[in-house]
Amino acid sequence: MFPIVSKKKYNDTIFELEVEAPKIAKNALPGQFAVLVAHENGERVPFTLADCNKEKGTVTFVIQVLGKTSSYLLNENLQSIPHITGPLGIPSHIDETKNHIVFIGGGLGIAPLHPIMKAYHQIGKKNTCIVGFRNKNLVFWHDRLSQYASKMLITTDDGSMGEKGLVTDVLEKEISIQKPDLVYAIGPLPMMRAVSEKTQFHGIKTIVSLNPVMVDGIGMCGACRVTIGGVTRYACIEGPEFDASQVDFDELILRSRQFKKEEDICLRDYLKNGIKK
């Protein structure tokens, strides 16, 4: 069992979960993830390790409520998580040859940027951070990211906070001021694709973190396959980070919707009947 230290709700769909997991906290590196099983009969769900506190022995996940498991984690008065496997995935490559990195996060993708930005900040690199939300009520963790950013820029679709517009609009302006050496983009697939198209036009290397459907997290099931440069790769053991210019986003977006009907049925069943023992 992994005791839950704290749970903090940011809005109706996003919450933070801090869990005691000293071995994972000790060994995790930026860019990695863990697989949670929320109850004994539960599914295996991957979540990015958004923060690790080695001194406290805790790991922090930021979770968006989309299906049965995320709803269960938010709504139930849980004291512990029965199973957590991690750290998994290949850690971020912290490239010391890059001096100016632009980090772009959309929605839930804000949290996974945190450990990567921190790592670049610790080796003295210039970090520009652009984060995008639909409106100000959905903004979270911008204060945490700003600790590691030379420049922090917020966009909202409706202009209720920061600049009105898309992260790609702000990125274009930043490129015109100073072309970055590297761009990291984490968030919704359409956003990462749009960023990739923009940076490819300007010849800027871009890294994206992918979170496809995943089951075992150790490369056995093949559920997380993605096409990278025309070759099938497995996000759990060969990712989650890939060169954005090589990602087949059209295929990835289609596959992300593959089980939408079944996911909706599971969520409705949980909300109606709770967890079946």
Supply φ then ψ for residue 190, to 5 degrees.
Answer: -60, -35
Q: pLDDT at position 197, please?
A: 97
Q: How far apart are CA 255 and CA 226, in angstroms?
A: 9
Residues 6 or more apart whose Cβ sits within 8 Å of residue 96: 123
Q: Provide the pLDDT for residue 259.
A: 76
Q: What is the distance between the terminal CA atoms of the chain, rounded to a whole angstrom?
A: 18
* C-alpha dist (Å) from residue 169 to 49, 131, 191: 29, 12, 12
Give the pLDDT of the chain (277 residues) as one tens digit per residue: 899 999 999 988 899 999 999 999 999 999 999 999 998 888 899 999 999 999 999 999 999 988 889 999 998 999 999 999 999 999 999 999 999 999 999 989 999 999 999 999 999 999 999 999 999 999 999 999 999 999 999 999 999 999 999 999 999 999 999 999 999 999 999 999 999 999 999 999 999 999 888 888 888 888 899 999 999 999 999 999 999 999 999 999 998 887 778 778 877 887 777 776 5
Helix (H, G, I), strand (E, B) or coil at 272: helix
In this prediction the pTM is 0.93
pLDDT of amino acid 217: 85
Rounded to whole angstroms, the Cα distance separating 187 from 110 reads 7
Amino acid 276: pLDDT? 64
With beta carbons less than 8 A apart as the criterion, state whether 106 and 41 touch. Answer: no
| Domains present along the chain, CATH in parentheses | 2-88 (2.40.30.10), 100-209 (3.40.50.80)
The pLDDT of residue 277 is 53
